[in-house]
Structure 1
Amino acid sequence: MKHFTITVYGKVQGVSFRAATKAIADQLSIKGIVKNQPDGSVYIEAEGDQFSVNYLLDWCKEGPDNAVVEKVDVSEGEIKNYLNFEIVKKRRI
């Protein structure tokens, strides 16, 4: 089991990046989160087996059809034991 923190930069908000990431993660049995960042990037925490996480990392370099990925930052971290993969939306005050 691996844990990766991934930040995807470019035209990645408003193009269904989070929904597409969740669909791919669910297909691969990856657990974690995906959320939009204030700077326009998308932040992902992904946990799964090496093959599945590598597949997700490769997919992040392209993203969904209307995305324009400029850069992907990846770092390995400690397992957080997520129970599923979910889209984190902004909290409203």
Structure 2
Amino acid sequence: MAGRAKRLRIHGRVQGVFYRAWTVETARGLGLAGWVRNRADGTVELVARGEAEAIERLIALCREGPPAARVERIVVEAAPDEPAPEPFEKRPTA
């Protein structure tokens, strides 16, 4: 999938609250490619590739997340120019 790519690191109460599965469902609904995974430090990391408007919408939605999550902050940066899996997928903890 062509387009822009962003890497997000989500901080807060984001593990064990359905955040990754919610992200997969949300990103697929927006037509994005990429992946999401838990990090050993308690954060969630994701890479999303697609249309700029869809990525911005995902970022806005990630600030809330699923009902049980409490997002404290999100660090957003450009992602490396590499292929992103389609459909959007959940990966193992890193």
Structure 2 CA distance for partners of 1:90 and 1:56, relative to 1, 3 Å: same
Do the aligned partners of 1:34 and 1:44 also contact (CA within 8 Å) in 2?
yes
Which runs of no fewer than 5 residues in structure 2 stay unpaired? none
Secondary structure (helix, strand or coil) at the match of 1:54 reads helix
Cα deviations across residues 33-64 of structure 1 (Å, max 9, x unaligned)?
10000011000000010110000000111111
Q: Is the 8 A contact 2:40 2:93 kept in 1?
A: no
Alignment pair present for 1:32 and 2:34 = yes
Q: TM-score, normalised by structure 1?
A: 0.92
Rounded Cα–Cα distance in structure 1 between residues aligned with 2:93 and 2:61: 24
> Which ranges in structure 1 are unaligned for 5 or more consecutive residues?
none
* 1:83 Cα offset (Å): 3.2
Selected match of 1:70 from 63, 69, 72:
72
Larger CA deviation: 75-84 vs 41-50? 75-84
Identity of aligned residues (%): 32
* Residues 8-48 of structure 1 deviation map (CA, whole Å, 9 limit, x = unaligned): 00000000000000001111110111000001100000001
CA, structure 1 residues 20+4, in 2 after alignment: closer, same or farther (shift >3 Å)?
same
Instruction: Tell me the matched-pair count.
Output: 91
C-alpha RMSD of matched pairs (Å): 1.3
Distance 2:74 2:54 in 1: 17
Match of 1:13 among 2, 9, 15: 15
Report which stretch shifted further, 36-45 or 73-82.
Answer: 73-82
The TM-score normalised by the length of structure 2 is 0.91
- 1:56 equivalent in alignment to 2:45: no
